[in-house]
Structure 1
């Protein structure tokens, strides 16, 4: 609002704008510190629940797509969704990949793209 009342390029209200901006930054800083202290600090991951969630995710089939093919990956995804079984379990059951290869391909660092996948 203060910027609208300024004439031409001589804005007499610039100090008000800077003061309001400074106050807003101060409030934002205080809010971030409060959030960090009262909410974020002390959070720990439930590794067992997270691992189970990842292992039962149908999205894992995308990491296997280049190795088992689109059609097989689609069939696995549909069956996993319909039955509630895990992708890895179904791939092993159908004999699409050996267990060692499957384990290597589904390592979290490989799936996340930060590790080397098998050629």
Structure 2
């Protein structure tokens, strides 16, 4: 359960850092959750949290302006061009993982995207 609360904290931090005060004005949102599998309570809670986050973003920006790519656990699943690729460019990018690790290569790309925003 500790991982679940840590994940929620990271998600909130990611949203605040990525969007700053501009989150409400985002036109295109890219969600990058890690794939979560398993039937234990922690996995189910994390899946629910990610689904609720997706619904909240969709209510703000519209479902057509929200792209969800659950690929962070796969090596080289994203690249430096991902934040700017169609249907983007994305004004806000959210990355989150609960019970599976984000691949190091993907983590470096996310850090670079946040730094160069």
- TM (norm. structure 2) is 0.23
Q: Where is the strand percentage greater, Structure 1 or Structure 2?
A: 2
User: Which structure has the greater CA radius of gyration?
Assistant: 1
Where relative contact order (Cα < 8 A, 6+ residues apart) is larger, the structure is 2
- Considering fraction of residues, name the structure with more helix: 1
